Amino acid sequence: MKLKKRILSAALSFALVFSAPSFVFAEEVAENAESQAIPELTVKQGYDTVMQLISLMGLTEKTKNDIAKEVLIRLASENPEALSKVFNEIAKSIDEYSSYYTEEEYKAMQIDLTGKSGGIGITASVQGDYLEIVSVIPGGAADIAGLESGDKIVEVDGTDVTGAMAEKAVELVRGEIGQSVDVKVLRKNGEITAHTLVRVEITDVTVSATTIDDEIGYIRITHFSNITGGEFVTYLDEFKEKGIKKLIIDLRNNGGGTLEGALGVANSILDKDEVIVSFKGKMEGDETTYKDEEDSIYDFDIAVLVNEYTASASEVVTAAIVENNHGISIGNQTYGKATVQGFYPIGGINGVLKMTVNAYFTPLGNSINKVGLAPTETVTNTIKIYEPDELDNFTYKTKPQLGDTDDNVLIAKKLLSMLNYDISDEESNVFDEKLDIAVREFQAENDLFPYGVLDMTTQTYIRNKVLDSKFLDDKQLDRAVEYLKSK
């Protein structure tokens, strides 16, 4: 089977009663606060000044910490949203991976870990001030809308989800199945685009597989959940039965997931007593090492595909395979997230605090946090944009449909195949059932009447769609195939 190329922000102001200029300053700050956020440094300077005045003038016996605590508690008591924001900011002060979840948000997250979720069909992770799309689920709403890895969600149903709200973006995207959600996305080219996406129930399939030239097994893992290990082994068994002994594991754009999922994959490849990963806490002696408990029943030559979005659990698996000499990695330097978060219930408010509690190390004892894994072979993909004279052109003189034989059918098959529609027998000029389905799908997705006739308007739309698209020239996959065929 051929693999297709894929396209507390607050203003602190004060004034002594005999200082008129300070009153003017306070008014200016108040006016500006309504229109834009105040820089953190400005707020910190104001806070420090207020605390110094209180201390110098002996206005209270309370310590600085007592005052700050009272203020935070008072703010958090205003409403559930304020409570969530305050606790989330406290968590964020630990590191960028720590956060606070309401009871509802935590339950929704637990659904993800068990392998079933609902939404717009993406896996994503918080990177700085944004929820960044790591991968899109094929056929999901995000995929159909043309969203891609690296795009950042900045607004959901009118709510700004940047900065402190980035952790909440996933929960806002979720909702009742069949209902629409409006999202704004910051694209990689700097453009912000608006999309209305319909929520669907997504049964989480984390692993997909195919064969390349009948001799190489190809497995793509989009993310790790508790079901990933079982899915992975199922495909290994299929390849073993077919006599396939070469394997590509594609972990590109895989932002991680559960430790259980990563261990399940690594256990199937490694042999007894080989180290998968080790964890070290902040307390002396707090260390755990995971080793494979038995020899693998599989014997594959392995190439692992990685890129800058390969993170966390994906890096655990990659390092386990490469550093135990079970394969090589090909692609770009990985993301470098080597910390582990734990979840701690907060009594009384029914929330859950996620905090970074451990760091993990590769089998050879290396720390890759904020550094990443260097691939065995560095290979960078390129983007192809077609010019008009590089594409075959329709004659625009016929309107073929199911059962017809026509040269325009050949062109339609080629172009729709480039756009990842399921096409059979691209060398035949017969308008078959698969082309009929593809034409109808294309027409429906592009607001044309979906009647399956390859009319002139549809021909024009198909060609323009290809010209407007960016195609991945997957040199990383090509190199993996070349490497394995040489073994």
Q: What is the 3-state secondary structure (H, E, C) of 421-434?
A: CCCCCCCCCECCHH
Strand runs labelled E in 282-432 = 287-291, 301-306, 328-331, 339-346, 351-361, 377-378, 382-384
Please give the model's pTM, rounded to 2 decimal places. Answer: 0.67
- 373 burial class (0-12, 13-18, 19+ CB within 10 angstroms)? buried
Architecture of 388-469 per CATH?
Orthogonal Bundle (1.10)
What residue ranges do the domains of the chain occupy? 116-203, 207-381+478-485, 388-469
Classified as helix, coil or strand, 186 is strand
Number of H helices, E strands in the chain: 14, 21
Per-residue pLDDT, 323: 98
Per-residue pLDDT, 62: 85
Strand runs labelled E in 188-286 = 192-198, 200-203, 207-212, 216-221, 246-250, 275-281
Q: Which of 435, 434, 377, 429 is nearest to 406 (CA)?
A: 429
Instruction: Tell me the CA distances in angstroms from 45 to 12, 50, 96, 365, one per residue in order.
Output: 9, 9, 23, 42
Note the Cα 331 to chain centre separation in Å.
Answer: 18
Interatomic CA distance for residues 333 and 209, integer angstroms: 24
Angle 89-352-282 (CA atoms, 0-180°, nearest 5)? 75
> Which residues are CB-contacts of 167 (< 8 A; sequence separation ≥ 6)?
88, 99, 126, 131
Q: Tens-of-pLDDT digits for all 487 residues of the chain?
A: 445 444 422 222 222 222 222 223 333 333 444 446 678 777 778 878 878 888 877 778 888 888 888 887 887 788 778 888 888 888 888 888 888 888 777 776 665 544 455 678 887 777 778 888 877 877 788 888 899 888 999 999 999 998 878 877 877 887 777 888 999 999 988 899 999 998 877 666 789 999 999 999 999 999 998 899 999 999 999 999 999 999 999 999 999 988 999 999 999 999 999 999 999 987 777 899 999 999 999 999 999 999 999 999 999 999 999 999 999 999 999 999 998 888 888 877 878 888 888 899 999 999 999 999 999 999 999 999 999 999 999 999 999 999 999 999 999 999 999 998 989 888 999 999 999 999 999 999 899 999 999 999 999 999 999 999 999 899 999 999 999 999 9
- Fold assignment, 116-203: Pdz3 Domain (2.30.42)
Looking at residue 358, what DSSP letter applies? E
Domain 207-381+478-485 has CATH 3.20.20.70: no
